[in-house]
Chains A and B, each alone.
Chain A
Amino acid sequence: MQSVIVNNLSKSYGKKKEIKAVKEISFEVSKGELFGIIGPDGAGKTSLFRMLTTLLLPDAGNAAVDGSDVVKNYKDIRKKVGYMPGRFSLYQDLSVEENLNFFATIFNTTVQHNYDLIKDIYVQIEPFKTRKAGKLSGGMKQKLALSCALIHRPVVLFLDEPTTGVDAVSRKEFWEMLKHLKQQGITILVSTPYMDEAGLCDRIGLMQQGKILSVGTPAEITGAFKETILGVKSNNMYQLLKDLNANDEVEDAYSFGEYHHTVMKPNFNKETLQQYLEQKGNKELVIQNTQPTVEDSFMQLMKQ
């Protein structure tokens, strides 16, 4: 059964609807899936999530969450989804414990009743349960917000950029928590601007300027990248990048960590490229075959 069905969903803002935030998007998410919406700021991720959580009305198209229509049956959806917005939106002047109790009460349940679901996350902040939410560190706020979004045992969980601005260690920990929740059978939709988090999802949708560029498993998406990518490095990386982009056999070259990823045109010759780069004065040259990543795919789709 599909947990989320999105069909030609659109949303525009402005007096003349001139700002098109979401443009005829369609995709489906299966029950129990961890689905990532990957895209930069301004791609339309938040507008999409707000429509799916019934906080914003679509202009056109339709969508259903757990079998309920986001417009007609919005009240049902609000009972069964959890939503963690990108901006911290708990009560800053209530304590950790009070926030959690408040959200449980609103949904007619108790913390005790669903404690097993949040236990792994909540124990980490329980030592600070009398502290005001506004006085927590970023990492602890995030854990409290997740606990509050889960306390009514939602069937679908929407997390809007939970890891933005968070350091690499806390990001890793957060994804571990999501893996645990997935094992409890909760469908999770998570948005992120970090391309390297794509690999942690079952399936992903790449989003840019209101459109979904591609949907699939991370392997399907990178598998659709047909051109050869060479990883190239030398003693002068900035000059090397200019030299690569000036070469006729190179489709595109861009920095990628230690190497420059160099997308080659068909029928290229590695030796010719090496000679060309040496002639240009590059030393300590390394040229090796490289597998495309989701970020490579994203950039290729963006430029099409």
Chain B
Amino acid sequence: MATDYIITTEELTKRFNDFTAVDHISFYVNKGEIFGFLGANGAGKTTAMRMLCGLSLPTSGKATIAGFDVYKQTENIKRSIGYMSQKFSLYEDLTVRENIRFYGGIYGKSNAFIKEKTNWLLQQLNLQDEADKLVGSLPLGWKQKLAFSVAIFHEPQIVFLDEPTGGVDPVTRREFWNLIYEAAATGITVFVTTHYMDEAEYCNRVSIMVDGRIDALDTPVALKEKFNAATMDEVFLQLARKATRIDN
């Protein structure tokens, strides 16, 4: 049923002059799903994500995010989603508590909500002792976990994560994925891009973009079977090598 889909796209396309960055992609994302959005550099992931976040108007095709239309209801979309990229959106010269307060305020949350949830969040992240320290002084792994928590602080229906784990150590990377699992368990849909192919295995379903198209979309198990591959890395390489765009 359409109501169970949190994201739907139909022939979604974005052209820049004569360059088709996103080429008629059609897919859906289930509510509460962890959806991996893979593709080589230049395949069109960022452009597609910008359209889904209501930041860029499509050239043609349809898409809805949390039931809102990507042409007409971009402000509703922005309120329904959270976003985190590798370049964190945290203010280094604000404290942990001030950052949380700031984002809660931006999304129009009440003081009571912010206060209560801040305490809960600090406890969850085990950051009580660091609450009044500047974010700039925190280790990278903590910043990343905080950035994720801030991105879902306003309880969005979907969170978009753009290469959230780049550069962190393997232990922190896994702790980060535990946060993702926990968020998904509360019903938040997670839409994530990554260059770590082992992380593709942690997704419920994975799509792989090649030259602006979605060339494969399925569960990791089904994709490995279909491409006769032992790992998602092999699946990715088989598909990405077919790319004809020189810009990779």
Contact = CB atoms under 8 A, between A and B. Distances in A.
Interface in A254-304: 254-258, 295, 298-299, 302-303
Contacts of B181: 238
A166 interface: yes
Nearest to A41: B167
B138 to A, nearest CB: 11
A42 B140 contact: yes
B125 interface: no
A138, A193, A299 — most chain B CB neighbours (10 Å): A193
Given A167-B41, A167-B195, A258 B220 contact: yes
Interface in A142-196: 164-170, 172, 193-196
A137 B248 contact: yes
Contacts of B169: 39-40, 43, 208, 298, 302
B41 A258 contact: no
Q: How large is the interface on B (under 10, 10 to 19, 20 to 34, 35 or more residues)?
A: 35 or more
B192 to A, nearest CB: 14
Interface in B215-248: 220-221, 231-233, 236-237, 240-241, 243, 246-248
Nearest to A171: B195
Contacts of B168: 40-41, 193
Contacts of A134: none
Contact of B174 (A42, A166, A169, A254): A254
A85 interface: no
B201 interface: yes
B1 interface: no
Given A238-B181, A254-B174, A257-B198, A164 B41 contact: no
B171 interface: yes
A140 B240 CA distance: 17
B5 interface: no
B40 interface: yes
A163 to B, nearest CB: 9
A153 B174 CA distance: 41
Contacts of B195: 165-168
Interface string B30-66: 0000000001111000000000000000000000000
Contact of A169 (B140, B172, B237): B237
A196 B140 CA distance: 21
A300 to B, nearest CB: 10
A303 B174 CA distance: 14
A208 B167 CA distance: 12
Interface of A: 39-43, 137-140, 164-170, 172, 193-196, 208, 237-238, 241, 254-258, 295, 298-299, 302-303
19 contacts: A39-B169, A40-B169, A41-B167, A165-B86, A166-B41, A167-B39, A168-B197, A168-B233, A169-B240, A238-B181, A255-B177, A255-B202, A257-B198, A257-B232, A258-B221, A258-B231, A295-B170, A299-B171, A302-B171
Given A165-B163, A165-B166, A193-B166, 12 more contacts: A40-B170, A41-B140, A41-B168, A167-B240, A168-B197, A168-B236, A170-B41, A237-B202, A241-B178, A258-B220, A302-B170, A303-B171
Interface of B: 39-42, 86, 139-140, 163, 166-172, 174, 177-178, 181, 185, 195-198, 201-202, 220-221, 231-233, 236-237, 240-241, 243, 246-248
Please list the 5 inter-chain residue pairs (A to B) with the smallest Cβ-Cβ separation, ordered nearest first.
Answer: A40-B169, A41-B167, A257-B198, A167-B40, A137-B247
